[in-house]
Amino acid sequence: MDQKQLTLLLGDNSLAELEEKAAWLREAGYSSILQAEEGPEVWAMFKSFAVDMVICSWEMHRISGLALLKLIRNDEEFSSTPFIMIMDQVSPKFVVQVGRAGVDDIIIRPFLKDTFKKKIKDTLQIELEPEALEAEKKYQNGLELMKAGRYDEAFKSFESILSVHENAEVYYNMGYINSIKELYEEALKCFRRATQIDNSHARAYKMMAEVQVKLGRNDLAEENFRQAGAIFMERRQDSEAEEVFQQVIKINPDTINVFNGLGIIYRRQGKFIEALQQYKKALRVHPEDEHIFYNLSRVYLEIKDYKNAKTALEDSLKVKPDFSEAKELLLAIEMGQTIH
């Protein structure tokens, strides 16, 4: 099977995740790669292009990965298209669900680049290089040793992988082991290298920040907590984002981006009173940010407080008169009130 002739469709809520996995596939020799950030977009692309494989996250917006799998399997023309599901966690219930729906394989986060490539090649029946197989074996061995608390042996197993190729997840685990052993400077080197290889490695930024707090380097810790939070938010991992933002507040109580970020998280979660509180805190720190006023208006709309929603949008436009999104939303509110 000629890899260059295959078309692979990637589905994930996170643009960073899509770009990373697409880069891995290109590196593996696949040249035709489609990317979609929402379930309906995955389905539309699948129906519009001759897709040879779907690699899709379970946690897709609007149409879940499981629903997409069922749609494809229920279409007689495409029922045999290979489908790999990416999941953050696995349980017997999930395995039964995707198994019955006809999934070809499952990949559990976090995973190595080589694990990803192997799953693709195995499903497409393409032979994997011996070096990659050996690296994956050493990686899994390292994870098992870590679980058993045999950190020195785990570190050596991870370190031996680096003689073949560098990998962000390997450096992350080595950093974690060093932090457990209170070798903080060595841990920072590993976490920093992980983020250099993969600049969207949120857990590495978070761990780097936690180590910097222990070393009394609060400014650097705040910066890395912020970076981790931004990535978690982009991936809609809201609980993880909230955790790191709370850490930033402990370091620096007057921080606008964190209050704004928490407001976004709470609005997503339907915690509208909490969201309002966070946006108001953000405005006390930075009273001339049109985006905060705009976000505030969206929460007021959620609770049908149209008067305050209009006021917030008007305040946004006072700061930036050409803010098109605020103009459009204000017009929609005014038209809605006129109609009713």
pLDDT tens digit string along 172-195?
A: 999 999 999 999 999 999 999 999
Which pLDDT score, from 0 to 100, does residue 17 have? 87
Give 148 or 130, the one with higher predicted confidence.
148
- Segment 35-44 mean pLDDT: 91
**Does pLDDT of 230 surpass 80?**
yes
* Better-scored residue on pLDDT, 260 or 319: 319
- pLDDT score for 256: 61
Q: Where are the domains of the chain?
A: 3-128, 260-340
The listed CATH number (3.40.50.300, 3.40.50.2300, 3.40.50.1970, 3.40.30.10) that belongs to domain 3-128: 3.40.50.2300
Q: Is the pLDDT of residue 306 over 60?
A: yes
Residue-level pLDDT at 340: 36
Residue pLDDT, tens place only, 281-297: 888 888 888 999 999 99
Task: Please state, in angstroms and rounded to a whole number, the distance separating the CA atoms of residues 64 and 174.
Answer: 34
Burial of 188 from C-beta contacts in 10 A (0-12 / 13-18 / 19+): buried
The CATH superfamily label for domain 260-340 reads Tetratricopeptide repeat domain (1.25.40.10)
State residue 274's pLDDT score.
Answer: 92
Cα–Cα dist 95/332, whole Å: 45
| Rounded distance between C-alpha atoms, residue 14 and residue 234, angstroms | 6
pLDDT digits (tens, 9 = 90+) for 122-139: 888 754 467 767 887 888
Q: 75 or 298, which is more confident? A: 298
CA–chain centroid gap for 324, Å, is 28
Residue type, 218: N
Given the DSSP bridges, would you call strands 7-11 and 53-57 parallel, antiparallel or unpaired?
parallel
Calculate mean pLDDT across residues 301-330: 92
Q: Give whole-number Cα distances, 116 to 85, 226, 254, in Å.
A: 11, 28, 42
Over 50: is that where the pLDDT of 24 sits? Answer: yes
Distance of alpha carbon 164 from alpha carbon 16, whole angstroms: 26
Unique residue bearing structure tokens 């946004």? 316
Over 70: is that where the pLDDT of 2 sits? no
| Residue with the two structure tokens 């109580």 | 253
More confident: 79 or 143: 143
Calculate mean pLDDT across residues 51-69.
91
Question: Quick one: average pLDDT of 246-266?
Answer: 84
Q: Is the pLDDT of residue 115 over 60?
A: yes
| Max Cα–Cα distance, the chain, nearest Å | 71
Predicted confidence at residue 126, as pLDDT, reads 55
**Range among 39-48, 183-192, 259-268 rated most confident:** 183-192
Task: Give the C-alpha separation, 160 to 173, whole Å.
Answer: 13
